[in-house]
C-alpha cells in the first residue's frame, strides 16, 4: 500500500504546475543571474562587461556594462531575433527593462533582448551621474569610436553567443536612449535591421531633412525601417522635435537607398493620419478601479509605484480611468521593388512601411503600456512594445525552415508520464505460481 501511495505522490507532483525559475545558462554563469521581478520566466543576466579597446586603425572605445535576457524557449539558432534596448536618462538598464516589458514579450515570442548601460562615472568617454547616453559625440566621433562602437560590439557579441540571425537585429530606446537609437542606426545601418524610438528626435536633434543622417551612413547606407512614438504632452521632447524626428527619418531613408531625394521613401503620408481610441466611449471618464500594484494604473501610480516609491512622471489617464490613450498613426511607404505603388496591394502592407509615426495624445514623458515596476512608464495603453515588435517582424525575412520552429516538448506531460510508469511498476502483480498439494494436504481433504 505504501508503494501505491508513493506512486500517487509522484503523479500528483507531476500535475501540479511548477513556478519557472530563472537559471544559469551556457552564456550566463549562475553568479550573474538576476531576479528583479517574478514577471519574467527566462534568464536575466548581468552585469556583463564589454571591455575598452583600441584597434589597429587607432579607433578607441570605452568599457560598458550590459544585461541580457534569454527566454526559456528560443527560436532555433540562426533564426533568432535580437532587440537592443537603450535606457533613458537617470535610468539603469534594469529599471528600463522592468518598465519597457520587452522581456515579458520575449517570454511569449522567443527572442533575445540586450540592455547596454551607460556608465554612472563622470569621465571623458561620455559617462556621467545622469546616465544620459552621449549621443552628441557623434558630431565628432567617427564610426568605430566611442560608446557607439561599444554598443555595436555588445550587439555583435550577443549575436555570436546566441546564434542570432543578422537579418533580425533591432535597435530601440527611450528619450536619450531613443536619440542614441537614431545615432546608432545612422552610424551602423548595416548592423541594425530596424529601429524603434520612444520620445526621441532626428539625427543629433538637428536634421529635419535627413541629410546629416544620410551622410553619417556613408558607404553603408541603406533604408532602416523605423517606428516612432511621441507624446502630445511631453515636456522634455516637445512636439516640434517629435515632428522633426518624422521628417528627419523619412528624409534619411529616402536618401539611403539611392542617394537621391526622389520619394523612393515617401516624405508625405502614404496611409493616415488615422486616430484610434478617440471615440466618446473611450474618452468617457470612468471610476478608476486599477489595483495599487500598478498593473493597470491608478491615481498617482506613476509617481509612487508599488511597492517602492520612486520618482516618475504622472500618468494623466489615471485620473480619468482610461484604458488607453487616443493615438494617431501615420505611415510613410517605401516605393521601390515589390512595394512600388503600381504593384503593391491597395491596402498598404506593413512590410512596405519605411517609417511609422505614433502620436499619443495625453501621454507625458513616459513609456506607453509599460510597467511601473520600472521608471518612466505609463501602464495605460497603447501597448507600444507589441506595436514595435509587430513592426519589426513585418519587415523580417520569412523563415526558410518553418518546421524547425516547433516548440520544445513541454516538461509537464513528460513528468506526468514518468509518474504513471513508476506507479505501474510499483503496483504490478507478481507472476502467479502453480500450487502443487503435498501428500499430507491430500489426506486431509480426503478425511
Backbone angles phi, psi at 330, to 5 degrees: -130, 135
DSSP result, 178-238: HHHHHHHHHH-TTT-SEEEEES--SGGG--TTSHHHHHHHGGG-----EEEEEETT-SSS-
Judge whether 324 and 380 are in contact, CB under 8 Å. yes
**CA 305/CA 371 separation, integer angstroms:** 9
Point out the least confidently predicted range of 129-138, 327-336, 396-405: 396-405
Residue 115 is placed in which grid cell? 540592455
Of 188, 179, 177, give the one whose Cα is nearest residue 216. Answer: 188
- The pLDDT assigned to 398 comes to 86
**What percentage of the chain exceeds 70 in pLDDT?**
78
Least confident of 126-130, 293-297, 339-343: 293-297
Q: How many CB atoms lie within 10 A of CB 345?
A: 8
Q: Would you give the DSSP letter of residue 39?
A: S
pLDDT of residue 14: 44
Is the pLDDT at 433 greater than 50, yes or no? no
Residue that wins the pLDDT comparison between 4 and 182: 182
Q: Mean pLDDT over residues 420-428, rounded?
A: 47
Alpha-carbon distance 384 to 377, whole Å? 11
At residue 290, the pLDDT reads 52
Residue 417 has pLDDT above 90, yes or no: no
Q: Give Cα 112 distance to the centre of its chain.
A: 8
Give the pLDDT confidence of 100-151 residue by residue, as tens digits: 999 999 999 999 999 999 999 988 889 899 999 999 999 999 999 999 999 9
**What confidence score (pLDDT) does residue 412 get?**
42
pLDDT at residue 372, as a whole number? 83
Q: Is the peptide bond before 273 cis (omega within 30 degrees of 0)?
A: yes
Residues near 63 by beta carbon (within 8 Å), at least 6 away in sequence: 49, 50, 51, 52, 119, 150
Q: Could you tell me which residue, 122 or 407, shows the higher pLDDT?
A: 122
**Interatomic CA distance for residues 366 and 231, integer angstroms:** 8
Domains in the chain with CATH codes: 1-22+409-447 (no CATH), 35-396 (3.40.50.1820)
Catalogue the E-assigned strands of 327-391.
Answer: 327-333, 353-360, 367-368, 377-378
pLDDT, residue 301, reads 54
Per-residue pLDDT, averaged over 218-229, amounts to 98
Q: What's the CA gap between 216 and 201, in Å, rounded?
A: 16
Structure confidence at residue 336 (pLDDT): 96
Cβ atoms 124, 152 nearer than 8 A:
no
Residue 14 has, within 13 A of its CA and on its CB side, a CA count of 20
- Does the pLDDT of residue 316 top 80, yes or no? yes
**Mean pLDDT taken over the chain:** 85
Which pLDDT band holds residue 442 (cuts at 50, 70, 90)?
A: very low
Q: Which of 11-20, 67-76, 192-201 has the lowest mean pLDDT?
A: 11-20
pLDDT of residue 71: 97
pLDDT the model gives residue 27 = 85
pLDDT at residue 281, rounded to an integer: 85
Q: Identify whether the C-beta of residue 70 lies closer than 8 Å to the C-beta of residue 43.
A: yes
Q: Is the pLDDT of residue 446 over 70?
A: no
Mean pLDDT of 271-298: 73
pLDDT in tens, 17-71: 444 456 778 889 999 999 999 999 999 999 999 999 999 999 999 999 999 999 9
Average the pLDDT over each of 303-312, 327-336, 352-361, 401-410 and give the range with the smallest value.
Answer: 401-410
Q: What is the pTM of this model?
A: 0.83
Provide, rounded to the nearest whole percent, the portion of the chain with pLDDT above 90.
Answer: 68
Amino acid at each position: 500500500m505504501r508503494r501505491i501511495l508513493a506512486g500517487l505522490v509522484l503523479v500528483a507532483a507531476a500535475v501540479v504546475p511548477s513556478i519557472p525559475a530563472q537559471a544559469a545558462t551556457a552564456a550566463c554563469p549562475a553568479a550573474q543571474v538576476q531576479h528583479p521581478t517574478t514577471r519574467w520566466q527566462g534568464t536575466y543576466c548581468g552585469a556583463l562587461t564589454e571591455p575598452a579597446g583600441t584597434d589597429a586603425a587607432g579607433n578607441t572605445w570605452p568599457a560598458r556594462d550590459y544585461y541580457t535576457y534569454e527566454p526559456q524557449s528560443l527560436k532555433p539558432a540562426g533564426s533568432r531575433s535580437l532587440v537592443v534596448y537603450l535606457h533613458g536618462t537617470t535610468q539603469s538598464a534594469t529599471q528600463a527593462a522592468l518598465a519597457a516589458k520587452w522581456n515579458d514579450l520575449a517570454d511569449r515570442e522567443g527572442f533575445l533582448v540586450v540592455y547596454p548601460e551607460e556608465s554612472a562615472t563622470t569621465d571623458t568617454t561620455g559617462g556621467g551621474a545622469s546616465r544620459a547616453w552621449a549621443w552628441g559625440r557623434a558630431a565628432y566621433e567617427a564610426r568605430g569610436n566611442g560608446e557607439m562602437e561599444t554598443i555595436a560590439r555588445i550587439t555583435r557579441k550577443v549575436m555570436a553567443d546566441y546564434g542570432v540571425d543578422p537579418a533580425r537585429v533591432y535597435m530601440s530606446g527611450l528619450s536619450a536612449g531613443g536619440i542614441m537609437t537614431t545615432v546608432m542606426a545612422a552610424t551602423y545601418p548595416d548592423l541594425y535591421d530596424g529601429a524603434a524610438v520612444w520620445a526621441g528626435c532626428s539625427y543629433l536633434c538637428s536634421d529635419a531633412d535627413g541629410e546629416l543622417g544620410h551622410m553619417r551612413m556613408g558607404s553603408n547606407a541603406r533604408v532602416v525601417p523605423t517606428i516612432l512614438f511621441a507624446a502630445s504632452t511631453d515636456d522634455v521632447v516637445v512636439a516640434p522635435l517629435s515632428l522633426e524626428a518624422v521628417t528627419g527619418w523619412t528624409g534619411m531613408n529616402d536618401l539611403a537607398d539611392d542617394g537621391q531625394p526622389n520619394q523612393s521613401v515617401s516624405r508625405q503620408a502614404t496611409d493616415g493620419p488615422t486616430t484610434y481610441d478617440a471615440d466618446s466611449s473611450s474618452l468617457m471618464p470612468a471610476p478608476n478601479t486599477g489595483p495599487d500594484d500598478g498593473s493597470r494604473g491608478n491615481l498617482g501610480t506613476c509617481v509612487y509605484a508599488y511597492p517602492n516609491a520612486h520618482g516618475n512622471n504622472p500618468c494623466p489617464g489615471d485620473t480619468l480611468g482610461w484604458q488607453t490613450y487616443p493615438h494617431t498613426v501615420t505611415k510613410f511607404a517605401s516605393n521601390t521593388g515589390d512595394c512600388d505603388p503600381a504593384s503593391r496591394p491597395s491596402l498598404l502592407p506593413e512590410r512596405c512601411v519605411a517609417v511609422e509615426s505614433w502620436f499619443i495624445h495625453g501621454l507625458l514623458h513616459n513609456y506607453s503600456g509599460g510597467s511601473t515596476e520600472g521608471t518612466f512608464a505609463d501602464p495605460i495603453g497603447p501597448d507600444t512594445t507589441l506595436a514595435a515588435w509587430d513592426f519589426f517582424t513585418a519587415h523580417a525575412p520569412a523563415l526558410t525552415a518553418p518546421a524547425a520552429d516547433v516548440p520544445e516538448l513541454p516538461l509537464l506531460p513528460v513528468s506526468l508520464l514518468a509518474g504513471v510508469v513508476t506507479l505501474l511498476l510499483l503496483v504490478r502483480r507478481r507472476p502467479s505460481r502453480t500450487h502443487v498439494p503435498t501428500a499430507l494436504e491430500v489426506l486431509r481433504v480426503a478425511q
